[in-house]
Amino acid sequence: VAPPVREPGTLLVEAAAQVALGPDDAVEVVLDASGSMLQRLAGERRIEIARRTLQALVAETIPAGTPFALRVFGHREADSCRTDLEIPLAPLSREAAGAAIGSVQAMNLAKTPIAASLASTQADLAGVTGERVIVLLTDGEETCDGDPAEIIAALRDAGEDVRVNIVGLAIDDAALETTFARWAKLGGGEYFPVSAEADLASALVSAVNPVFTVFGAGDKVLAEGVAGGEAVSLMPGNYTVEAAGRRYTVAVASSTVTRLRLD
């Protein structure tokens, strides 16, 4: 008699209410405040939606004290490729960060220096020994003749642990979305297309959630993902999950969803 066929199970790694970053990790948000962010989405200017959602991110999701930086472009000079570090890297002060985010005003005719802004993150995050989580929030393409793909590849090749996630707000250009997805993949991250405020909130939370790795026997890597993201399929058995500098032991059963919450 043939042995019964073992069906795989599913492992769903859930994020904590506050993102479970490692003790040496850092987050930098790169915010587009160029002229296109003055356009409206559901009756409200995109920059207003972005500000409010980012304020919620620093108030509720990223733990106070997490190394945090904010870089903004498009808000200081019209017809300019200027990019400014508005919050230098420091332990997150929720009140101060919320105030700084709330003061950002988009400027008409300002350009979109995505490549230059991403290149600046290397110096912005100098000294970070853990993962460097970079979140680019933009609604448009590079307009300052930079090459973001080249910059992202250079960031990854510099020997630091860097993850670049891209959140595209109200992008209606399929080719640009494909480009953003390619850039995010180059950066070891994900592209999150959003067209509504609720989607933006969940995308930003996902963008700062930690990655996880599933190990089998002999510490063989079997799967990787992002906490709060898609589940992974595994054969029944015992596994080790590593996330945010911690290790968890889980048992996956056949045809069953096993949930692991990162606390």
| Angle subtended at Cα 35 by Cα 99 and Cα 27, rounded to the nearest 5 degrees | 45
Q: Work out the mean pLDDT of the chain and round it to a whole number.
A: 95
Please say if the pLDDT value at position 21 is more than 90.
no
Residue 1's pLDDT band (cuts 50, 70, 90): low
Q: How does pLDDT run across 152-211, given as a tens digit for each residue?
A: 999 999 988 999 999 999 999 999 999 999 999 999 999 999 999 999 999 999 999 998
The SS3 of residue 14 is strand
Considering the chain, tell me which residue range(s) the CATH 3.40.50.410 domain(s) occupy. Answer: 26-208
Average pLDDT over residues 39-64: 96
> Quick count: other Cβ atoms within 10 Å of Cβ 123?
9
Average pLDDT over residues 226-234: 91
Please say if the pLDDT value at position 146 is more than 70.
yes
Please say if the pLDDT value at position 75 is more than 90.
yes
As a whole number of angstroms, the distance between CA 227 and CA 260 comes to 9
Average pLDDT over residues 235-249: 94
As a whole number of angstroms, the distance between CA 241 and CA 219 comes to 10
As a whole number of angstroms, the distance between CA 34 and CA 43 comes to 18
Confirm if 49 and 197 have CB atoms less than 8 A apart.
yes
Q: Is the pTM above the cut of 0.75?
A: yes
As a whole number of angstroms, the distance between CA 170 and CA 197 comes to 10
Angstrom distances, CA of residue 261 to CA of 70, 138, 248: 28, 30, 10
Residue 3's pLDDT band (cuts 50, 70, 90): low
| Phi-psi map region of 10: left, alpha, beta (phi>0 left; psi -120 to 50 alpha) | beta
Q: How does pLDDT run across 87-106, given as a tens digit for each residue?
A: 999 999 999 999 999 999 99
Radius of gyration of the chain (CA): 19
CATH code given to domain 26-208: 3.40.50.410
Q: How does pLDDT run across 106-126, given as a tens digit for each residue?
A: 999 999 999 999 999 999 999
Interhelix angle 174-186/148-157, rounded to 10 degrees, is: 10
Confirm if 212 and 239 have CB atoms less than 8 A apart.
no
